[in-house]
Amino acid sequence: MPKKTLTSLLLASLLLFITGQAQPELEGTITVSGAFALYPMMVKWSEEFRAIHPKVNIDISAGGAGKGMADVLAGLVDIAMVSREIRPEETQKGAFGIAVVKDAVFPTVNENNPVLNDLLARGATKATFIGIWIEGRIKTWGQVVSRTDVTAPINVYTRSDSSGAAEVWAKFLGERAQEDLLGTGVFGDPGIADAVARDSLGIGYNNLGFAFDPDSKRPVRGLVVLPIDVNENGQVDPEEGPYTTRDQAMEAVSGGTYPSPPARELNLVTLGKPTGLAQLFLIWILADGQQFVSEAGFIPLSQERLQEELGKLQ
């Protein structure tokens, strides 16, 4: 029997159990910790799953991808939210990852930046970001936009916690590691967004769900998403931005015009192959749970990718 058919049969039987039809009602607790990037999506999935199964409790806490991975490997939680690739040494310790959605990290500046119009017209190249975060040789906003009359300093922010966003941003800047990023360390996605929003000379980076307001679908108040000049032609082409709405940013990630990294898949990780309630929750996420992905501000995986991940749960 073809693998896809086997996966479909497995899914059908598990979902039959999940619906509670002709089965005892699901009960128990699922504990989750990890990446800020996945936190809004997991909250939405939790709400929808519990609407079907009110006797299931799902405890979710955000503290960074590193904390989530450490927690799950130590057996402290059932599922970790990990917004980066799973490392070989983590797999050797028993980490079992399932990709569930796509997301991206975006550079952000303050809405009152002294050269904002230049930034939105020219964007910034990868080399510029390397000069800011890795080499430290680009120190003023005038250097970013080639204006000798502007000497205002760049206040650089990065993540202080072990972060998938930071790791992915560092990877974009030439296969670096989070430890290579310069700047003032701030805890969490909300923290770095708030720091840049309060600092007219600030620059940072945020996951899509924290760069854009979930209600207005516009950049978070005080922030502007800085376009990346991908082709390095000195101007922002239509496909490069500016992204003034969440939908525009999501379309760029989905269509592949936004670079990867910093676009990437987000993972849920268990200690060994999941069983019981955690397995059923993951099956539901990859099936019925996908209908909530776009509205929550994330990019769905392809059907082929979903089938591949479902196959891992057989």
> Do the Cβ atoms of 155 and 139 come closer than 8 Å?
no
- Where helices occur in 20-163 by DSSP H, the ranges are 39-52, 65-73, 88-92, 116-122, 126-133, 141-144
pLDDT at 11 over 50: no
Query: What is the per-residue pLDDT for 6?
Result: 36
Tokens for 194, please give them. Answer: 């708030």
Report residue 229 as tokens: 């000049």
Q: Quick one: pLDDT at residue 2?
A: 38
| CATH 3.40.190.10 domain locations along the chain | 3-103+265-312, 104-255
Q: Which residue has the higher pLDDT, 18 or 151?
A: 151
For the domain made up of 3-103+265-312, give the CATH fold.
Answer: D-Maltodextrin-Binding Protein; domain 2 (3.40.190)
Nearest to 155 by CA among 169, 141, 175: 141
| Residue-averaged pLDDT of the chain | 92
- Specify the pLDDT at position 314: 81
Confidence of residue 14 (pLDDT cuts 50, 70, 90): low
- Minimum mean pLDDT range among 23-37, 183-197, 291-305: 23-37
Percent of the chain with pLDDT over 70: 92
Distance CA 290, CA 298 (A): 10
> Per-residue pLDDT averaged across 91-96, rounded?
97
* Arithmetic mean of pLDDT, 146-164: 96
Q: Is the pLDDT of residue 129 over 70?
A: yes
Q: What is the mean pLDDT of residues 191-195?
A: 97
> What's the rounded mean pLDDT across residues 109-129?
98
10 Å Cβ neighbour count for 295?
Answer: 9
Render pLDDT for 223-261 as a digit per residue (tens, 0 to 9): 999 999 999 999 999 999 999 999 999 999 999 999 999
pLDDT classification of 166: cutoffs 50, 70, 90: very high
Measured distance CA(88)–CA(99) in Å, rounded: 16
pTM: 0.86
Bigger pLDDT: 21 or 198? Answer: 198
CATH code, residues 104-255: 3.40.190.10
Residue range 269-294, pLDDT digits in tens: 999 999 999 999 999 999 999 999 99
Q: Which of 194, 261, 259 is nearest to 231 (CA)?
A: 259
Per-residue pLDDT band for 16 (boundaries 50, 70, 90) equals: low
- Residue 265: closest CA among 12, 91, 15, 85: 85
- Distances in whole angstroms, Cα of residue 48 to Cα of each of 29, 115, 205, 250: 15, 44, 30, 22
